[in-house]
C-alpha cells in the first residue's frame, strides 16, 4: 500500500489543529463569541483569570447552580494551572497537542459528575461546535 505523502502531511496538520482546539477549548470553554475573539489575550492571562472566565461562561451557558459553580471553579482553576505549562512551554507542537488532549479528557471526566446529563450534553455539543468551526477554518 502506497501512502500519499501529501495526505499524511495534511493528517498531521489536522491533528495539530485539533490539538490547538483542545488548548483553546480549555481556555474558552462554553463561552460567548466576544470572549473567544482574542486568543492572544487569553494566552497572556493568568490561570486564575482563565479559570474565572471559563467558570463565568459555563455558569451562564449551562445555567449552573451555586454548588455547581463552586465545583466547576475549582476544576477550572486546577486545569488552567496545568495548562499553563503547555501554553507557555517551548515543547514542540505535537508534544503540546498530546498533553493538551490528555488534560482535556481528564478535565471532562471531572466535570461530568458535576453536571446534570442535559448540562453535560450541552457542554459536549458546544465543544463539538467549536471543533467544527476550527476545522472549517482549516479547509
> What is residue 34's predicted lDDT score, i.e. its pLDDT?
37
Span 32-42, mean pLDDT?
46
For residues 84 and 112, the model is more confident at: 112
**What whole-number distance in Å separates Cα of residue 104 and Cα of residue 73?**
15
Task: Give per-residue burial for 29-60: e unless 16+ CB within 10 Å, then b.
Answer: bbbeeebeeeeeebeebebeebbbbbbbbbbe
Is the per-residue pLDDT at 39 higher than 60? Answer: no
The pLDDT of residue 31 is 41
pLDDT digits (tens, 9 = 90+) for 77-88: 999 999 988 888
**What pLDDT score was predicted for residue 95?**
87
Q: Does the predicted TM-score (pTM) go above 0.85? A: no
Amino acid at each position: 500500500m502506497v501512502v500519499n505523502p501529501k495526505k499524511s502531511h495534511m493528517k498531521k496538520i489536522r491533528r495539530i489543529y485539533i490539538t490547538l482546539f483542545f488548548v483553546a477549548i480549555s481556555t474558552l470553554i462554553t463561552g460567548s463569541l466576544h470572549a473567544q475573539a482574542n486568543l492572544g489575550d487569553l494566552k497572556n492571562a493568568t490561570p486564575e483569570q482563565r479559570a474565572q472566565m471559563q467558570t463565568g461562561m459555563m455558569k451562564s451557558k449551562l445555567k449552573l447552580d451555586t454548588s455547581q459553580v463552586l465545583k466547576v471553579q475549582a476544576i477550572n482553576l486546577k486545569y488552567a494551572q496545568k495548562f499553563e505549562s503547555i501554553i507557555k512551554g517551548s515543547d514542540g507542537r505535537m508534544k503540546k497537542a498530546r498533553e493538551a488532549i490528555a488534560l482535556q479528557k481528564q478535565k471532562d471526566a471531572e466535570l461530568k459528575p458535576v453536571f446534570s446529563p442535559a448540562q453535560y450534553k450541552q457542554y459536549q455539543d458546544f465543544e463539538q461546535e467549536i471543533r467544527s468551526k476550527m476545522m472549517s477554518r482549516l479547509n
